[in-house]
Every structure is written in C-alpha cells, then in structure tokens.
Amino acid sequence: MHLLIATSNPGKFREIREGLAPLGWTLFSLLDYPFKMPPEEGSTFEDNAVLKAAFAAKQSGLPTLADDSGLEVAALGGEPGVYSARYGNKKTDTERNVYLLERLKGVPPSERKARFVAVLVMAYPDGYMELYRGETEGEILEAPRGEWGFGYDPLFYLPEAGKTFAEMTLEEKAAYSHRGKALRQLLEAHKLGLARKEQPLQE
C-alpha cells in the first residue's frame, strides 16, 4: 500500500517509517506532496490529527497517516499540550526548550512530572478513519541531555531507562516512546486484520 505521512518533520517521518517497516508499505511525506496544510486549531491531539489526516487524504487521494503529539507538564497545568510545536511563539526546538526551562525555573525535581502524548489517525480518501493513542510518563530535567531526537527530547527523562529521549538510539526510543506505542497498536491492528483492509489507490 502507498501511504502518505502528513508531516514535513524529518525526525518524525523517520520514526514513523521505522515503526511501519514490518508492513512493507511505500511511504511518502509532505515533502513529496507539498500542499499547504490547514492550521491546527483543535483543542485536543485527536482533533488536530483528524484534521490533518482527513485534509491530506483528500488532497493527495492516498490513505494518510497524521500524528499530533506533544508534551504535557503537570506543574504547568498541562502546558504546552497541543501548542508544543509553537510554545511561547518560539521558532526553533532550542528556543522552545529554553522557554520551557524558564517556565519551570524554581520547580523542584519531584514536581517536574510530564508525559508525552501521541495520537495517530489513519484516514482514507472516502472518509474512513482509524485512531491510535500512546502515552509515556517521565519528568523534565533542569538542563538538556543528549544529541539525538528532536523537540523536547533532550529534556524528557525516563527514570526506568535512566536516559532522556535524546540519549536513546532510534530503536531504544521506539521501545519507550508515546509514538512507538501508538505505532505498535496500528501494526497489531493491521497484522491481525482488525483494521480496514488495504484500499486500492485512487486514479
């Protein structure tokens, strides 16, 4: 099957491509279909993932997988949440990480609990959809650690692993991450025939 991944983020596309590799599908990203996506105005990760998947499936004529994900920090009332990619109106991952640390200044380690959430929606051109959700609990460090990953990965620490997401290989991160968990749900559904059967490509 040909599947469009509704992202232009290379790191996110790489994680999804690795996660879906067992299915043997041919994947494309928005770099292959450079149409303008609608603004993410939903109040939940589910809202935004549905919006992106449905729009891109209609525009491309391909089954489309969209991810909406983000970080929820308990001490900040769940911020940045759905605004993770544009937190504080900052333009880069580094700026957003610095802004998050500023917001948490003075908060002790015991109160820096956070979770990553990922919602995957697979939309077909005829409007049919599948939804998968994964969550990972951790905490926010007082300084970044690690050179890999993207987004808030250098600050998100998993006590059970003794590492931040940015200190993990792609394989390690997939085993723990919110997106990895959601992708495994999708894989299981399609391998077991619980999801929709593969659809013919539209002409």
Of 174, 194, 192, nearest to 183 (Cα)? 174
* 179 known ligand binder: yes
Count the helices and strands in the chain (H runs, E runs): 5, 7
- Give the separation between CA 99 and CA 146, rounded to whole angstroms: 18
Tokens representing residue 193 in the block: 């025939």
* 93 known ligand binder: no
Instruction: For strands 113-123 and 64-73, give the pairing.
Output: antiparallel
Q: Tokens 């997106």, residue? A: 179
First to last CA, the chain: 14
* 2 known ligand binder: no
* 29 known ligand binder: no
The 10 Å Cβ neighbour count of residue 39 is 8
Q: Please identify every residue annotated as catalytic.
A: 68
* 153 known ligand binder: yes
Helix (H) or strand (E) holding 117: strand 113-123
* 7 known ligand binder: yes
* 12 known ligand binder: yes
* 173 known ligand binder: yes
Q: What angle do CA 175, 85, 114 make, to 5 degrees?
A: 50
* 67 known ligand binder: no
- Give the separation between CA 137 and CA 66, rounded to whole angstroms: 22
The 10 Å Cβ neighbour count of residue 126 is 10
* 68 known ligand binder: yes
* 109 known ligand binder: no
Binding residue numbers for Mg(2+)? 68
Give the residue numbers of the binding site for substrate.
7-12, 69, 150-153, 173, 178-179
- Residue positions forming the annotated binding site: 7-12, 68-69, 150-153, 173, 178-179
